[in-house]
Amino acid sequence: MTVRQVLQGKGHPNILSTHYNTLAFTTEEAVTSRGDCFVAVAMDRSLPGLDDDLKDALRAGRRLRITIEADGVFDVVEATGAPGLTFEDPSDMVVRRSGYVCGRTLAIDADKAAKDLSRELVDRLRAGGPVRIVLECAPTGHP
């Protein structure tokens, strides 16, 4: 069974989306330009607030498809869960190219980081409008 959760947030003028190794979402209302991995702010959920079915699927190492959409433009990131995920950070969700896991980690071994996202999408994110993020884990054995 596919596990799916839809999150809502918004863009922000300081979103640069230039980080080479990660991308992140935060429940904070704003970010500075130093946070070059952030792609959305004011998220309606943090890691602890994710559905238990999604957290269980990610802890089982299932693949995660992340669709980021703003103003009709979207991009997709593929990543993987890991047994050590704790989902404990109260504000940040980080998707990593590496296999590093900490309390801020949503998924690892991503095929894209913030710098790899569509520049058209990043322009929409910088406009500050609504952002929709869909997290989907396919059943075990499916890509």
DSSP assignment, residue 41?
B
Q: Is pLDDT above 80 for 140? A: no
57 strand-pairing partners: none
Q: What average pLDDT does the segment 117-128 reach?
A: 97
d(CA 134, CA 108): 17
> Would the CA dihedral through 47, 52, 53, 58 be positive or negative?
positive
User: Residue 84 in 3-state DSSP?
Assistant: coil
pTM: 0.95
* Tens of pLDDT, residues 68-100: 999 999 999 999 999 999 999 999 999 999 999
Q: Is pLDDT above 70 for 141? A: no
Question: Any idea where the domains of the chain sit in the sequence?
Answer: 3-137
What percent of the chain clears pLDDT 90, i.e. is strictly above it? 92
Q: Reduce the secondary structure of 62-115 to three states and give it as a string.
A: CEEEEEEEECCEEEEEEEECCCCCCCCCCCEEEEECCCCCCCCEEEECCCCCHH
Residue 119: the pLDDT is: 97
Residue with tokens 């559905």: 51
Residue with tokens 């913030």: 114
- The domain 3-137 having CATH identifier 3.40.50.620: the answer here is no
